[in-house]
Amino acid sequence: MRAYPLKSTPVFKQRIWGGQQLREVLGKELPTDQRIGESWEIADLPEGQSTIANGPLAGRTLGDMVRGHTEQIAGTRDFPERFPLLVKFLDAQQVLSVQVHPDPETCRRMGRGDPKTECWYILQAEPGAVIYKGFKRATTRSQFARAIADGTAAEWLAAVPVHPGECHFIPAGTVHSLGAGLLIAEIQTPSDTTYRVFDWNRVDEAGTPRTLHIAEALESIHFETTPDRLPVTTVGRLVDSEYFRVDKGHRGQDSEILLARGCMRVLIFLTGGGRIVAADAESTQFKAGDCFLIPAAFEGAVVFTEDTEYLTVTV
């Protein structure tokens, strides 16, 4: 396989809280008659497999391609069977359910589920927009269980105002929710295990409340987590966790950065545009909203033809 920048074809997910901002802001080719909440850009899960959109590998799934060319893509043969990242764009036109994702210990204890740690990079936020992350103050399982039973669960959550350019780290076990009026990039471990605690008494088009997972959620929540324990970053190294690292870059027009061989990266272009140029001078165009997997065997440069903000994700 000749190593080259692999552009993804996303998987769109219809959500009750979604809209059309992924098309209007990021140029995604959404079905116009659906509320799309999530665009899975880099995905290797049974619930969604992104495919390669360009070059000789076009049409192959991310999982198939990585397992077939592991050393060229990852730079090592010692690589997990499932690709270790899930990268999304989310359009929250309405508030999401209050939920939690389990940590590895909880998954082992319950004998099911996959752990999930994530971060949210705020692309757009309407005035007054908030996220919910952790509790207003440390609580206990029994206290929160009573709050769920009497319908006051939301009153225990910490509502945190957010602004574009912020990155919020949400480790597994943190009770959380996105508020309305947000467009975000989400980087996470590869899991779709979500336990809903509360859904704001919302019903679907058929008038049916969405399923809650209260017992599993209570087993998974870290009740001591409050916002002061969760970092918020805006420049440089945004996340440095045991699962992934996220760095924010900003380059002006007619500048470039080198991509050295030996490191697998995911590049998420938030604004601007340009091209990724291989050492043999072949180039691949990019624009805002594009995500690329850069194989470890690739060598070249990113040339910016517009003022551009981007995220680099490594594992």
Residues 142-169 have pLDDT tens digits of 999 999 998 889 899 999 999 999 999 9
pLDDT at 204: 75
Q: Are residues 182 and 260 in the same domain?
A: no
Exposed/middle/buried for residue 61 (C-beta within 10 Å: 0-12, 13-18, 19+): middle
The band of 275, judged by pLDDT with boundaries at 50, 70 and 90, is very high
42 bridge partner residues: 87
Task: Reply yes or no on whether 196 is catalytic.
Answer: yes
239: in domain: no
Do 98 and 223 belong together in one domain? Answer: yes
Q: What predicted TM-score, i.e. pTM, was given to this entire model?
A: 0.95
Q: What is the pLDDT of residue 210?
A: 85
Would the pLDDT of 201 be above 90? no
* Dihedral Cα 14, 17, 19, 25, nearest 10 deg: -110
Same domain membership, residue 260 and residue 175: no
Mean pLDDT of the chain: 95
- String of DSSP letters for 72-105: HHHSSS---SS-S-EEEEEEESSPPPEEE---HH
Residues 171 and 44 in one domain: yes
Instruction: Compute the average pLDDT of residues 76-89.
Output: 93
CATH number of the domain encompassing residue 264: 2.60.120.10
What mean pLDDT is predicted for residues 251-263? 96
DSSP state of 10: P
Question: How much is the average pLDDT of 97-123?
Answer: 97
Catalytic residue, chosen from 15, 67, 77, 196, is 196
Tell me the pairing of strands 118-125 and 182-188.
antiparallel
- The answer to whether residue 238 is domain-embedded is no
Is residue 79 one of the residues assigned to a domain?
Answer: yes
Cβ neighbours of residue 111 closer than 8 Å, sequence gap 6 or more: none
Q: How confident is the model at residue 1 (pLDDT cuts 50, 70, 90)?
A: confident
Give domain status of residue 237, yes or no: no
Q: Last residue of a domain, which of 186, 207, 232?
A: 232
Percent share of the chain, pLDDT over 70: 100
**pLDDT band, very low/low/confident/very high, at 206 (cuts 50, 70, 90):** confident
Say if residue 145 is in the same domain as residue 280: no
- The domain total for the chain is 2
Write down which residue in 232, 264, 280 finishes a domain. Answer: 232
Q: Quick check: is 35 in a domain?
A: yes
Running DSSP on this structure, what letter comes out for residue 41? E
Evaluate whether residue 228 is within a structural domain: yes
What is the pLDDT averaged over residues 37-41?
98
pLDDT higher than threshold 90 for residue 189: yes
- The whole-number pLDDT of residue 48 equals 95
Domain match, 41 and 148 both: yes
- Domain ends where: 173, 197, 232? 232
Q: Are residues 107 and 76 in the same domain?
A: yes
Are residues 146 and 222 located together in one domain of the fold?
yes
73 and 117 fall within a common domain: yes
Assess whether pLDDT exceeds 90 at residue 207: no
Task: For residue 1, tell me if it sits in a domain.
Answer: no
163-182 residue pLDDT tens: 999 999 999 999 999 999 99
Tens digits of residue pLDDT in 61-77: 999 999 999 999 999 98
Q: What is the DSSP letter of 210?
A: P
Q: pLDDT-derived band of residue 81, with 50, 70 and 90 as boundaries?
A: confident
Domain range spanning residue 34? Answer: 6-232
pLDDT at 111: 96
Say how far apart CA 39 and CA 18 lie, in whole Å. Answer: 11
The answer to whether residue 205 scores a pLDDT higher than 80 is no
Residues 224 and 262 in one domain: no
Same domain, yes or no: 109 and 223? yes
Q: Is 240 a member of any domain?
A: no
Percent of the chain predicted with pLDDT > 90 = 90
Section 291-315 average pLDDT: 97
pLDDT at 137: 96
- What separation in angstroms does the CA of 255 have from each of 120, 242, 275, 301, 304? 27, 32, 11, 10, 5
32 and 85 part of one domain: yes
